[in-house]
């Protein structure tokens, strides 16, 4: 009996001790949690970062293209928010910032950090702002608003800014302290230059104990000329309208690009890609609907550096250089002056089963042609004969890819390393590429792999080859100066460019300029486009290109032009996706751009002549 009483006493004691400990923990973790956390908050400090204004971007005439203005914004200090006042602030935000949905506001208060940006209050009066500060949890700080002064006109060059994502944090660690990051164009490429030093707000408890203002980022000055940019865009729009009126296309023509490149420096004077977008839409946040609509038409793609197209006859300049440099002319000829009889087609036998008959774009032929007149009239047969000579001479040897090597020396198949993000490199096909595709992308090649017929296609810019407009512009610039370098926008980078000199003689450069001049004058494929310039066309040069597309797509229209044969300052490249003939669309667009460059009166873009 005595033992039972002792056991009962011990059991009651243990139960009492357990209840005491449990009630103590409950009080500590639940009843006194708010008091404990408040005490901790009062003893600790946190730092909140204020986004700095970005550096301005100027064109070559010091015209401001992008700038940041500091405007008052409302912030919410969550250290002063509790269950008693939360609804007051939620109602205020719902009423004064209707762009926030109820779910956004709810999540805002659930997930909020120490200090959160609410919105721009630059339209609020001084009295209204003062009333805001009467609500203890509201703070007002200046926040940078990015402004693009020319809207769509510079969208693909300048780019835009937005809120950083986890990918941005990884690429640009400093954006963890910022609410803005460059998403495209120069804004992204020069993020580390344009971004400034964020301001700092130090909180202790729920009070601000220190404020360090942000410091603006560095300005950059670029080679773009805004007046030329406007002329180029307007010319492209006129050309697109003509293409839709005159070409039989399954798809509406909407995509095009044009580049004006300084021959002597590689500086970008103008670069336009269509369709475009207004980067100011991203300043306050673009709607999902508007974003998806722009994305569907590929408006965010800069086709000047990302558009991959077969180049057509503008690629013939590569075999033109090869022929002169290597003495590889059509069989039986040993100089550029030798002529062949172009009857409109080329027939021969390939041992590998390739196509046996190749039909020139001009069915009745071009008559007796040499290298110069083959360029002037864009005679495919002459260049096919060069390809045939290469194949018969070098098939199966290391020199089998001699044409591809010349193309790569001019920058095709590789990034130009222009100072813009998302550039694409294109493809220069050869036996090795086809062997790789046989395994990795069998849908693109025949089981037989690389054949002689593929070289025949390549030499006239057709088949599996793809290039970008910036590569074409830079290739012609290289041949006209004997120096390869990356094109650029930021003027400060011009002193650090890596130059690669080629053994291109002055005689060859003179030959090239004179032959390009033949293209834009009588009997040339671009004559109809430049005839309106009268005698001034005597000093202009260029090369047309009409590239076939797979399936039911219309041809892609190309033109490369130089503003002067005597003293070229600019290379102009224009491409219109599914625009049709290069001589009919791209050439007259480029003609209007060249008129501007030489200070001539501008005439409207008018439909040229289908000559290839």
**Looking at beta carbons, which pairs linking 159-168 to residues 24 or more positions away fall under 8 Å?**
159/183, 159/184, 159/185, 159/186, 159/187, 159/188, 159/189, 159/279, 159/421, 160/184, 160/185, 160/187, 160/279, 160/282, 161/54, 161/187, 161/282, 161/283, 162/282
pLDDT in tens, 334-393: 999 999 998 888 887 676 667 678 888 888 889 999 999 999 999 999 999 999 999 999
Measured in whole angstroms, how far is the alpha carbon of residue 36 from the centre of its chain? 54
What residue ranges of the chain are covered by domains with CATH 3.40.710.10?
226-597
CATH assignment, 226-597:
3.40.710.10
DSSP letter assigned to residue 123? T
Length of the chain: 612
Q: What is the DSSP letter of 83?
A: T
What the block records as the tokens of 91 is: 């109602």
Q: Is the pLDDT of residue 37 over 60?
A: no
Distance of CA 8 to the CA centre of its chain: 83
Determine the Cα–Cα distance for residues 50 and 270; give it in Å rounded to an integer: 35
DSSP 8-state code for residue 158: H
List, as one string, the DSSP characters of 290-329: HHHHHHHTTTT--HHHH--B--GGGGHHHHHHHHHHH---
**What's the rounded Cα separation, in Å, for the pair 329 and 326?**
9
Q: What is the CA radius of gyration of the chain?
A: 33
Cβ atoms of residues 519 and 542 within 8 Å: yes
Q: Hey, what are 410's tokens?
A: 């001019």
Query: By the 8 A CB rule, do 521 and 535 touch?
Result: no
- SS3 call for 403: helix
Looking at residue 92, what is its pLDDT?
A: 85
Model pTM?
0.89
Q: What is the DSSP string of 230-285?
A: HHHHHHHHHHHHHHHHHS--SS----EEEEEEETTT-BEEEEEEES---GGGGTS-
Q: Taken in order 241, 246, 252, 256, is the CA torsion positive or negative?
A: negative
Render pLDDT for 465-506 as a digit per residue (tens, 0 to 9).
999 999 999 999 999 999 999 999 999 988 788 899 999 999
Q: Enter the DSSP assignment of 470.
A: H
pLDDT digits (tens, 9 = 90+) for 533-573: 999 999 999 999 999 988 888 999 999 999 999 999 999 99
The domain made up of 47-221 has a fold known as Penicillin-binding protein 2a (Domain 2) (3.90.1310)
pLDDT digits (tens, 9 = 90+) for 155-182: 999 999 998 999 999 999 998 888 899 9
Position with higher pLDDT, 538 vs 25: 538
What one-character DSSP code corresponds to residue 74? E
The confidence band for 29, taking pLDDT boundaries of 50, 70 and 90, is low
Rounded distance between C-alpha atoms, residue 589 and residue 605, angstroms:
6
């Amino acid at each position: 009996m005595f033992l039972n009483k002792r056991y009962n006493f011990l059991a009651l004691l243990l139960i009492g001790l357990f209840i005491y400990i449990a009630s103590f923990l409950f009080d500590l973790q639940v009843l006194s949690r708010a008091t404990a956390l408040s005490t901790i908050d009062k003893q600790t400090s946190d730092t909140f970062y204020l986004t700095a204004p970005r550096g301005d971007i100027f064109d070559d005439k010091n015209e401001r293209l992008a700038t940041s203005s500091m405007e008052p914004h409302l912030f919410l200090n969550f250290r002063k928010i509790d269950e008693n006042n939360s609804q007051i602030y939620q109602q205020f935000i719902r009423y004064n910032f209707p762009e926030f949905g109820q779910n956004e506001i709810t999540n805002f208060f659930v997930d909020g950090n120490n200090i959160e940006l609410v919105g721009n209050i630059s339209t609020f009066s001084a009295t209204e702002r003062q009333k805001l500060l009467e609500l203890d949890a509201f703070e007002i700080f200046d926040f940078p608003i990015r402004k693009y002064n020319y809207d769509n006109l510079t969208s693909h060059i300048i780019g835009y800014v937005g809120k950083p994502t986890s990918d941005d944090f990884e690429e640009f660690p400093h954006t963890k302290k910022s609410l803005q990051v460059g998403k495209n164009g120069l804004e992204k490429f020069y993020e580390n230059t344009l971004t400034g030093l964020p301001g700092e707000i130090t909180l202790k408890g729920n009070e601000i104990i220190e404020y360090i203002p942000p410091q603006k980022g560095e300005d950059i000055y670029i080679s773009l000329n805004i007046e030329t940019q406007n002329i180029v865009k307007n010319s492209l729009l006129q050309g697109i309208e003509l293409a839709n009126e005159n070409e039989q296309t399954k798809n509406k023509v909407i995509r095009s690009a044009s580049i004006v490149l300084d021959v002597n420096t590689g500086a970008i004077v103008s670069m336009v890609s269509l369709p475009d977008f207004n980067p100011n839409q991203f300043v306050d946040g673009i709607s999902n609907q508007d974003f998806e609509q722009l994305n569907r038409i590929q408006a965010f793609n800069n086709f000047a550096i990302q558009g991959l197209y077969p180049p057509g006859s503008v690629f013939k300049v590569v075999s033109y250089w090869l022929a002169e440099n290597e003495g590889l002319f059509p069989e039986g000829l040993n100089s550029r002056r030798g002529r062949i009889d172009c009857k409109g087609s080329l027939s021969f036998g390939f041992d590998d089963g390739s196509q046996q008959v190749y039909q020139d774009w001009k069915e009745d032929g071009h008559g007796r042609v040499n290298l110069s007149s083959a360029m002037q009239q864009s005679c495919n047969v002459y260049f096919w004969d060069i390809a045939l000579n290469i194949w018969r001479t070098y098939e199966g040897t290391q020199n089998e890819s001699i044409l591809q090597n010349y193309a790569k020396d001019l920058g095709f198949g590789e990034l130009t390393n222009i100072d813009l993000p998302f550039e694409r490199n294109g493809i220069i096909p050869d036996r090795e590429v086809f062997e790789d595709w046989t395994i990795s992308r069998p849908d693109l090649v025949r089981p037989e792999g690389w054949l002689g017929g593929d070289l025949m296609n390549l030499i006239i810019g057709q088949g599996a080859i793809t290039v970008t407009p910036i590569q074409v512009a830079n290739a012609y610039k290289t041949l006209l100066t004997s120096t390869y370098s990356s094109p650029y926008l930021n003027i400060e980078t011009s002193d650090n460019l890596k130059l690669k000199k080629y053994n291109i003689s002055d005689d060859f450069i003179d030959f090239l300029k004179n032959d390009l001049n033949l293209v834009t004058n009588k009997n040339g494929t671009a004559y109809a486009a430049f005839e309106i310039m009268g005698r001034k066309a005597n000093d202009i040069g260029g090369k047309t290109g009409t590239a076939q597309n797979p399936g039911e797509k219309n041809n892609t229209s190309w033109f490369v032009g130089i503003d002067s044969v005597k003293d070229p300052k600019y290379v102009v490249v224009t491409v219109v996706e599914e625009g049709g003939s290069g001589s009919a669309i791209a050439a007259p667009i480029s003609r209007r751009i060249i008129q501007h460059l030489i200070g001539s009166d501008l005439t409207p873009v008018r439909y040229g002549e289908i000559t290839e």
